[in-house]
């Protein structure tokens, strides 16, 4: 999508802001979306709200139009951004006043900051007796969000999605922020928009919820959405009413698609069917090539060549570690590393295994992931592989720092002296009198070898690094066991194993790799 200012000069008019609500699970995102929707003055005339739709627009009591996106989590928000569908203008960060800032709140903050979106904090559940808005504000400080009443620029609004308290203030704050941003678009041109959600519905065919970004989408328009084409058969607003057209920042359901596009796909209106087919075919091919290109091409390589060519001023990273102590040590040292030309930019840091949120964030910002004594969960590994996101694993802080030093100079020649062999999962633990505790395992990936090195992972955090002393199939000691087979394992001088732990098996090899 081109910049909203693009070729539209001359015909610009104000458009409503598009708002995404993010926050920790159970802090009230859904409740707040519902509660805000109920404040819509236009809805009352239409006889209430029944539809679920991925985006809706309200008119506040003071006459401001606001468009809310119902994105399922910050990973989806960033996934859309990575695909070029950066539709959000303002992020509402919901923090439950009785619970405070939690892991996913921190993730959401990092995602919003990486996308360079203004954040308004809704301190929710203030109806609860345990609510403590001041504590939330103090916690925000630790994440470099300074509330207005503490001398900063972050607007914090206490609200209750249950009683409706404070919702008017929240809406006014959003409208004020939007005014500052001077959001404009040209409504007098062929429409461009983004698919917010799409599904195949019985009796209706493929239906897409589209957020119009510029221009006006009309019934009868010929369009391409992703690599699907169509002609608008009907448009329905967020209350399920048929409308003739939809303008900038307006969400509409579009009927008349040839197939089902994906969330994040771009919709554009074209002059005729021939052009629609042409664009659809082009996009189809482009998508295939992008997918191919993502495989095997690490973001690190791209970043390094940019640094070498002097194009990049920062090396964006996401850092995950086993404990707070190691995280603080790494962050402290990285801060002092940068030169005038290039700096390490920490997009997100946290304690715990690597998850989907980390991968999407890294991908959208072309960052690499630094993993200190932690591993990626299965879903994250799959995503990283698909999107070509670089995850670098470390167990020695010095090596991590050294790699970043080299990376900042545009080169990285790590001694890749470790070769991954496989993963196993502990299904059962047996107490065997002679050999102590034995892990009954299933090999879930690759293979394991007796005498090889093993790391024990609990919740994706490395809790032990040692040697595989014994490897058995039934009663016999064996040299190796392949994926899909069960086996018994015992570790040298180590007994603390539990059902559900994962085992990573690896070998030390002496290869120097130059990028
Ligand atoms: P989400 O996971 O962030 O979408 O959270 P939900 O909207 O599903 O809310 C989680 C729980 O908190 C539900 O049981 C809600 O009823 C409750 N809840 C949400 N907002 C409020 C509020 O303002 N006050 C109180 N007391 N409960 C709330």
CA torsion angle for 387, 393, 397, 401 (degrees, to 10)?
-40
Kindly give the distance from the C-alpha atom of residue 420 to the centroid of ligand 1, in angstroms, as a whole number. Answer: 44
**Looking at residue 207, what is its pLDDT?**
93
Pocket of ligand 1 (CB under 6 A): 23, 25-31, 124-125, 127-128, 160-162
| 3-state SS, residue 24 | coil
Ligand 1 pocket test, pick from 20, 25, 26, 94 with the greatest ligand atom count within 8 Å of Cβ, gives 26
Question: For ligand 1, what atom is nearest to the CA of residue 25?
Answer: 2
Judged on CB neighbours under 10 Å (0-12, 13-18, 19+), 367 is: buried
**Bridging pattern class, strands 18-23 and 65-69:** parallel
Kindly give the distance from the C-alpha atom of residue 239 to the centroid of ligand 1, in angstroms, as a whole number. Answer: 23
**Bridging pattern class, strands 217-218 and 266-270:** unpaired
Q: Which residues in the chain show pLDDT less than 50?
A: 1-6, 295-297, 414-415, 512-515
E strands in 237-307: 242-243, 245-246, 251-257, 266-270
pLDDT (tens digit per residue) in 385-399? 888 888 989 999 998
Could you tell me the CA-to-CA distances from 425 to 162, 325, 391, 502 in Å, in that order? 43, 28, 22, 5
**Looking at residue 406, what is its pLDDT?**
83
E strands in 474-509: 476-477, 480-482, 486-491, 502-508
Q: What is the ipTM of this complex?
A: 0.99
Non-local CB neighbours of 147 within 8 Å, separated by 6+ positions? 121, 137, 140, 141, 154, 155, 156
**Looking at residue 49, what is its pLDDT?**
52
Kindly give the distance from the C-alpha atom of residue 364 to the centroid of ligand 1, in angstroms, as a whole number. Answer: 30
Could you tell me the CA-to-CA distances from 122 to 107, 137, 156, 402 in Å, in that order? 16, 11, 6, 41
Non-local CB neighbours of 376 within 8 Å, separated by 6+ positions? 353, 354, 355, 358, 359, 384, 391, 460
Residue nearest atom 9 of ligand 1, based on CA coordinates: 28
């Amino acid at each position: 999508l081109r910049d909203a200012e693009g070729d539209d000069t001359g015909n610009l008019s104000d458009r409503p802001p598009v708002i995404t609500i993010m926050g920790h699970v159970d802090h009230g995102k859904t409740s707040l979306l519902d509660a805000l929707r109920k404040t819509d003055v236009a809805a009352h005339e239409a006889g209430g709200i029944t539809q679920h739709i991925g985006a809706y627009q309200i008119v506040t009591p003071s006459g401001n139009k606001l468009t809310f996106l119902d994105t399922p989590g910050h990973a989806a928000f960033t996934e859309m951004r990575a695909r070029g569908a950066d539709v959000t203008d303002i992020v509402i960060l919901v923090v439950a006043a009785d619970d405070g800032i939690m892991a996913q709140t921190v993730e959401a903050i990092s995602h919003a900051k990486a996308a360079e979106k203004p954040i308004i904090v809704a301190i929710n559940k203030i109806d609860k007796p345990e609510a403590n808005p001041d504590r939330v504000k103090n916690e925000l400080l630790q994440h470099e969000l300074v509330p207005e009443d503490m001398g900063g620029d972050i607007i914090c609004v206490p609200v209750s999605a249950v009683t409706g308290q404070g919702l008017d203030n929240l809406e006014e704050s959003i409208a004020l922020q939007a005014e500052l941003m001077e959001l404009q678009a040209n409504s007098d041109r062929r429409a461009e928009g983004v698919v917010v959600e799409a599904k195949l519905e019985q009796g209706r065919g493929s239906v897409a919820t589209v957020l119009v970004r510029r221009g006006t989408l009309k019934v009868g328009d010929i369009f391409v959405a992703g690599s699907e084409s169509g002609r608008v058969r009907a448009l329905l607003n967020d209350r399920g009413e048929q409308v003739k057209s939809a303008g900038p920042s307006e969400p509409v359901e579009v009927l008349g698609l040839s197939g089902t596009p994906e969330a994040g796909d771009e919709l554009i209106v074209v002059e005729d069917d021939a052009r629609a087919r042409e664009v659809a075919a082009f996009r189809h091919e482009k998508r295939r090539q992008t997918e191919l290109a993502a495989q095997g091409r690490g973001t690190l390589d791209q970043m390094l060549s940019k640094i070498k060519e002097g194009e990049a001023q920062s090396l964006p990273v996401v850092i995950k570690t086993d404990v707070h102590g190691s995280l603080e040590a790494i962050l402290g040292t990285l801060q002092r590393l940068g030169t005038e030309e290039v700096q390490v930019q920490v997009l997100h840091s946290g304690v715990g295994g690597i998850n989907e949120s980390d991968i999407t964030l890294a991908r959208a910002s072309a960052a690499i992931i630094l993993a200190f004594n932690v591993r990626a969960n299965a879903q994250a590994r799959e995503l990283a592989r698909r999107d070509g996101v670089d995850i670098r694993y470390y167990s020695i802080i010095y090596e991590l720092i050294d790699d970043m030093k080299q990376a900042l100079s545009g080169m990285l020649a790590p001694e890749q002296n470790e070769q991954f062999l496989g993963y196993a999962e502990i299904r059962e633990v047996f107490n065997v009198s002679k050999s102590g505790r034995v892990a009954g395992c299933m090999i879930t990936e690759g293979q394991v070898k007796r005498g090889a090195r093993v790391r024990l992972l609990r919740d994706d955090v490395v809790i032990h690094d040692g040697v595989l002393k014994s490897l058995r199939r039934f009663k016999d000691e064996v040299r190796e066991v392949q994926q899909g087979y069960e086996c018994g394992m015992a570790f040298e001088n180590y007994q603390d194993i539990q059902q559900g732990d994962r085992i990573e098996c690896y070998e030390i090899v002496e290869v120097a790799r130059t990028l």
